[in-house]
Amino acid sequence: MDKIYFQRMEFYGYHGVFEAEAQLGQRFYVDLELSLDLTKAGQSDELGDTVNYADIFTSVRQIVEGERYKLIEALTSRIAEQLLSQFAFMEVKVKVTKPNPPINGHYEAVAVEMVRSREERGL
């Protein structure tokens, strides 16, 4: 299976359980691993035979910046479901990183990663 990767897309969103997170917002990073057959695109060199990267980015941005979730688990799941329904991916791996959650301690970030497939959705 062929793959397309997006690494460390950066967005500003208002996700979190606490009221301050909803009011102030914060940065979120999204990484994608998108599985599909790229044979035709590799042979034809035509955009119509693959997916438009800008459309993928826009779809993710609309979710992260346009919707609000208390949990990054819900945000991650929503991104995965949208990508599977909008594009012809066989499987998607989505990782959402929250670099500054309100946790008293020393750490770089917290992240949630989910893998979803057309097969498990019955598509």
Note the pTM of the prediction, 2 decimals. Answer: 0.93
In the chain, the number of structural domains is: 1
Q: What backbone torsions phi and psi does residue 112 show, to the nearest 5 degrees? A: -125, 135
Give the pair of three-digit tokens for residue 108: 């770089």
Average pLDDT over residues 65-88: 97
Residue 122 scores a pLDDT above 90: no
CATH code of the domain covering residue 82: 3.30.1130.10
Residue where the block lists tokens 């301690």: 105
What residue numbers bound the domain in which 53 lies?
A: 2-121
Average pLDDT over residues 5-27: 94
pLDDT of residue 107: 84
Q: What's the mean per-residue pLDDT of the chain?
A: 94
Residue 93 is a catalytic residue: no
Residue 19 CA from chain centroid, whole number: 24
Residues 6 or more apart whose CB falls under 8 angstroms from that of 1 comprise 35, 36, 37, 90, 91
pLDDT over 70, % of the chain: 98
Helices 72-86, 53-66: crossing angle, 10 deg rounding: 150
pLDDT band with cut points at 50, 70 and 90 for residue 43: very high
